[in-house]
Structure 1
Amino acid sequence: MSERLDRRKRYTRKVLKESLISLLKDKPISSVTVKEICELADINRSTFYTHYNDQFDLLEKIEEEIADDLVQYLNSYSLSIEEESIEMTQKLLEYITNNQYMFEILLNENADPMFEKRMMNIAKRFIMFNWMNEHNVEQSDSRYLSTFVVSGAINVIKDWLDNDLDKSPKEMAKLISQFTNEGLSFLNR
C-alpha cells in the first residue's frame, strides 16, 4: 500500500514540476499562480499545498534536484587529467541534453535568476577544490579564475541550448576544454 502511495506522490510531484516548467516558458515565475499550475497539472490545489508552499517553493525544489544531480556528477570525476575533465564535461552535457527543455526554461529570463548563480557556485567550488590545487593557482587568484572559466562555460552552454544542441555533447566538451585550457591561443594553430 505504501509503495502505491509513494508512486502516486512521485507522479503528483512530477506533473506539478512539468506544469511549472511549461508555464515558465511564456511568463516569469512572479506571474505564475498556483491555480494555473494546478489547472495545467489537473491536480487539486489542496494536493499542491500538501507538497509545496507556493510556486517559488516548487521552483526551488526543481532547482535543488538538478543541483544535487550535478554535484553527484562532479564528485564522481577528478579534474586532474585532461581526458577526465573532458569526460566529466561530456557527462554533464549529456545530462543537459537529456533534460534539454528543463534547462532551456530554467536558464531563460522567466525562471529564477538564482538558478544560474547556484550552478556557477557549484562548479566554482568544484574547480577551486580540485583543479586549482592541482595547478598551484594562488588562492587569491583562484576565485577570479574559476569565475572566468565557469561563466564562460555556462554562457557557451546557454548558446548551445539556443542553437538546439547543434553539436554533440562530446564535441562541446572538447570545445569547452579547449577554450578553458588554451584560451584564444588555439586560434593561432
Structure 2
Amino acid sequence: MSKRLDNRKKYTRNVLKKSIISLLQEKPISSITVKEICEKADINRSTFYTHYSDHLDLLNKIENEVTEEMDAYLNSYSYEVEEEAIQITEKILEYINDNKLILRTLLNSNSSLHFEQKMMTLTRRYMLNNWMKESNVEEEKSKFLSTFVISGAIHVIKDWIDNDMDQTPGEMALMINSFVNYGFSYLED
C-alpha cells in the first residue's frame, strides 16, 4: 500500500511540475494561479495544497531539484586540469541539453530570477573551491571575478538555448572555457 501511495505522490508532483512548466512558457510566474495549474494537471486544489503551499513553492521545489542535480554533477569530478574543466562544462551542457525544456523555461524571463541566482551561487561555490583556491587571487577579487565569469557563461548558455542548441555541448564547452581562460585573445585565433 505504501508503494502505491508513493507512486501516486510521484505522479501528482510530476504532473503539477509539467503543468507549471507549460504555463511558464506562455506567461510570467506572477500571472499564474494555483487554479490554472490544477486545471492543466487535472488535479483538484486540495491535492495541490497537500504537496505545495502555493505556485511559488512548486516553482522553488523544481528549481531546487534541478540545482541539486547540477550540484551532484559538479561534485562528481575533479577540476584541476583545463581538459577536466572542459569535460565538466560539457557534462553540464549535456545535462542542459537533456533537460532543455525545463531549463529553457527556468531561465526565461517568465520564470523568477531565483533560479539563475541559484545557478550562480552553485557555480561560484564550485569555482571558489576548485579553481580560485589554487590561484593567488585575493578573496574579494575572486568573488568579483567569479561573478563576471559565471554571469557571462550563463548568458552564453541562454543564447545557446535560444538558438535551439545549434552547437554540440562539446563545442560550447570548449568555447566557454576558452572565453574564460583566454578572453579576447581567443577571438584573435
Instruction: Calculate the TM-score normalised by the size of structure 2.
Output: 0.97
When the two structures are aligned, how many residues end up with a matched partner?
Answer: 189
Identity %: 59
Partner of 2:47: 47
Partners of 2:3 and 2:83 in 1: how far apart?
Answer: 42
Alpha-carbon shift at residue 83 of structure 1 (Å): 1.1
Partner of 2:9: 9
Partner of 1:113: 113
Q: Which amino acid aligns with 1:109?
A: S
Question: 1:15-47: per-residue Cα shift (whole Å, max 9, x none)?
Answer: 000000000111111111111101100111111
Alpha-carbon shift at residue 128 of structure 1 (Å): 1.1
Whether 2:186 is the aligned partner of 1:166: answer no
Partners of 1:19 and 1:58 in 2: how far apart?
Answer: 11
RMSD across aligned C-alpha pairs, in angstroms?
A: 0.9
SS at match of 2:111: coil
Q: Which moved more, 1:10-19 or 1:69-78?
A: 69-78
Whether 2:19 is the aligned partner of 1:19: answer yes
Partners of 1:187 and 1:29 in 2: how far apart?
Answer: 38
Partner of 1:135: 135
Partners of 1:33 and 1:186 in 2: how far apart?
Answer: 47
Partner of 1:152: 152
Partners of 2:81 and 2:138 in 1: how far apart?
Answer: 20
Q: Which amino acid aligns with 1:133?
A: K
Deviation >6 Å, runs of 4+ = none
Question: 1:46-69: per-residue Cα shift (whole Å, max 9, x none)?
Answer: 110100001000000000001111
Matches within 5 A, 1:53-68: 53-68=53-68
Alpha-carbon shift at residue 129 of structure 1 (Å): 1.4
Partner of 2:187: 187
Q: Which amino acid aligns with 1:66?
A: V
Partners of 1:140 and 1:46 in 2: how far apart?
Answer: 48
Alpha-carbon shift at residue 78 of structure 1 (Å): 2.1
Partners of 2:188 and 2:5 in 1: how far apart?
Answer: 61
SS at match of 1:112: coil
Unaligned runs of 5+ in 2: none
Whether 2:80 is the aligned partner of 1:80: answer yes
Question: 1:86-132: per-residue Cα shift (whole Å, max 9, x none)?
Answer: 11111111111111011111111110111111111110111011100
Unaligned runs of 5+ in 1: none
Partner of 1:99: 99
